[in-house]
Amino acid sequence: MANVESLLSTMNVTATEAKNRFGQVLEQAQHKPVFIEKAGRRHSVVLSIEQYETLLRAQQPASKADAGKRFYAKYKDWVDAQNQLVEKYGVPGEEFRPW
C-alpha cells in the first residue's frame, strides 16, 4: 500500500484541468495517483496500471489452501484433538454415508 510520504506528494487537479491537460495527467499518474476534483471535492483518481493491479491483488481473497493453513495455524490444538478422536473412534454415522 501507499505510504504517507507518497500520499502527501499526490497531484490534485480540477476536472477542467484534467480535461485540458489529459496527457500530462496520464504521465503523472505513472508515478503517483492523480486526484480529480469536481465541485471542490475529490471525485475520481487516475492510477497507473501497476498501482491498479496492486490494489486488485490486495482485494482478492486468499486461496483456499492459504485459508486452510491459516485456520490450522490458529486452531492447531483443536484440529489435532479432533483428528485424534476420529482416529480413535472413527466418524459418527459413517456407515450411513453414501460415499
When comparing pLDDT for 10 and 24, which is higher? 24
Burial 73-98, CB ≥16 within 10 A → b, else e: eeeeeeeeeeeeeeeeeeeeeeeeee
pLDDT band at 8 (very low <50, low <70, confident <90, very high): low
Q: How far apart are CA 30 and CA 9, in angstroms?
A: 13
Answer for the pair 44, 63: CB distance below 8 angstroms, yes or no.
Answer: no
| Joined grid coordinates for residue 98 | 453414501
Lowest mean pLDDT across 2-6, 44-48, 54-58, 90-94: 2-6
